[in-house]
Homo-oligomer: A and B are copies of this chain.
Amino acid sequence: EVGELQQLRFMLNKGLRPAEVAHLLEKTPPRERQILWNLLNQELEGEVLQYLGDDAQAEILSRMEASEVLAITESLETDDMADILQQLPDRVMKELLQIMDTENRSRVEQVLSYPEDTAGGLMNTDTVTIRPDITVETVLRYLRRHKEIPETTDTLFVVSRKGSYIGVLPLTRLLTTDPDVMVREVMNTDVDAIAADMPDEEVARLFEQLDLISAPVTDTDGHLLGRITIDDVVDVIREDADHSLMSMAGLDEDEDTFAPVMKTTRRRAVWLGINLITAFIASAVIGLFEDTLDRVVALAVLMPIVASMGGIAGSQTLTLVIRGQALGHVERSNIGWLFNRELIVGALNGLLWALVVAVVAVLWFQDMTVGVVIALAIVINLLAGAMAGTLLPMILKSLGIDPALAGSVLLTTITDVVGFFAFLGLATLFFA
């Protein structure tokens, strides 16, 4: 038992890299996670913490004093430290900033002054800067005097005497240039600096499109503030992509897979409650047609098919449009084409499957009218699904509501209501 603990302690502190320890913690249930965390040496805690998801970070930080948090995060890069501090309750964060030394505080406060989801919130302040009017030889000598260049440095930033950003000098170019050449002559001025208030998904798109490894960040006056590196951008890409998936199920993209029971129950309850309203609305629609249902029991048997087909078709459109929005493919200028295509696709698939369902229904209940009614209702509901799936995300986005979060609930409401209303309403007419 003691030997095993010793082994575990060794593995956590010597055997695994901090990112691997974080991964291990993420896949461990709460009680065991706490035991593993306690076995970790204090000097590794900050390193490990920065690799954890927001939810798991907050859980661990909630049990720490401001001074402890400071002690374990002090040695981190500014952006990573700021990331962690953002998970602290306001009270603890304020306390922590007060006990910090002045230089560190001003650096952290600069990063914290930008929202977490902007270029400013992603950036790091550890840039290596050079002047344009020196030779490559001087740059090489200057670097050699440094013991270490910050990790993931692939370019040096060229700035004016006043700190204004001018251009970049990639290390690969530095290494292939004649030492006597001036920086001004070899630097690359094509690389635009990123404005500190650029949203992080736009930063990610730039990095993806230009295959960047790092990029300079400037304030509105063009002063170099810091740099963004690809490792932080990768986190943004991962989170943005997870966001749609998780939100569509009413989950948070940072959701800790092994969150404790009560936390999970509370979060899920909200989503179930919202969906219950949807379900009641659908029931109310069915309730309008109690008399018809009472007369033709086959309708009760078949009605879920109409709602379900509309819901599935609508979700396909919704998912495609939400992903299209996230990738920046879908916008006002091309939504018209998409709307038309979805409508045509909905009509074609509606006709196809309406026919199939009608044939089965007629054979099953030996009633032609039931077949006609369900066929019409399916076509109507697939068209409704296509329209809702295309327009809902556009409308929600323009209202500033997250389409991934609200879209699926609203879509189901629409396809349920339209599906039941069309099917039972038509049946009431036909069987009257």
Q: Which positions in A face B, CB cutoff 8 Å?
A: 17, 19-20, 23, 26-29, 51, 140, 143-144, 146-154, 171-172, 174-178, 207-211, 213, 230-231, 233-235, 237-238, 241-242, 244-246, 248-251, 255, 257-258, 260-261, 264-265, 268-269, 271-273, 275-276, 278-280, 282-283, 286-287, 290, 293-294, 297, 299-305, 307-309, 312-313, 315-316, 318-320, 323-324, 327-331, 334, 337-338, 341, 344-345, 348-349, 352-353, 356-357, 360, 364, 412, 416, 420
Contact = CB atoms under 8 A, between A and B. Distances in A.
Contacts of A275: 308-309, 312
Nearest to A360: B280
Contacts of A331: 27
Given A175-B140, A264-B345, A345-B264, A319 B209 contact: no
Contacts of A20: 209
Contacts of A315: 249
A144 B319 contact: no
B209 A265 contact: no
A181 B149 CA distance: 18
B286 A329 contact: no
A5 to B, nearest CB: 19
A260 to B, nearest CB: 8
Contacts of A237: 234, 237-238, 241
A423 to B, nearest CB: 12
B357 A320 contact: no
Nearest to A300: B300
Given A144-B176, A304-B282, A309-B276, A234 B208 contact: yes
Give how many copies assemble into the complex.
2
A385 to B, nearest CB: 10
B416 A320 contact: no
B313 A209 contact: no
Given A17-B210, A238-B241, 6 more contacts: A27-B334, A152-B211, A234-B234, A261-B344, A276-B357, A304-B416
Nearest to A269: B349
Scoring A177, A287, A297, A360 by chain B CB atoms within 10 A of each residue's CB, the highest score goes to: A297
Nearest to A275: B312
7 contacts: A17-B209, A26-B327, A27-B334, A149-B175, A152-B211, A290-B301, A304-B304
A265 B360 contact: no
A327 B144 CA distance: 40
A276 B143 CA distance: 67
Contacts of A357: 276
Given A176-B143, A176-B146, A272-B349, A300 B319 contact: no
Contacts of A241: 237-238, 241-242, 245
Contacts of A305: 276, 279-280, 282-283
Contact of A211 (B140, B151, B177): B151
A330 B26 CA distance: 9
A269 B352 contact: yes
A302 B299 CA distance: 14
A168 B213 CA distance: 18
Contacts of A171: 154, 171-172, 175
Contact of A154 (B148, B154, B312, B341): B154
Given A234-B208, A302-B283, A349 B265 contact: yes
Contacts of A154: 152, 154, 171, 213
Contacts of A146: 176
Contacts of A283: 301-302, 304-305
Contacts of A178: 144
A374 to B, nearest CB: 11
Nearest to A233: B234
A248 B211 CA distance: 30
Nearest to A334: B27
Scoring A269, A276, A299 by chain B CB atoms within 10 A of each residue's CB, the highest score goes to: A276
A391 to B, nearest CB: 16
Nearest to A350: B272
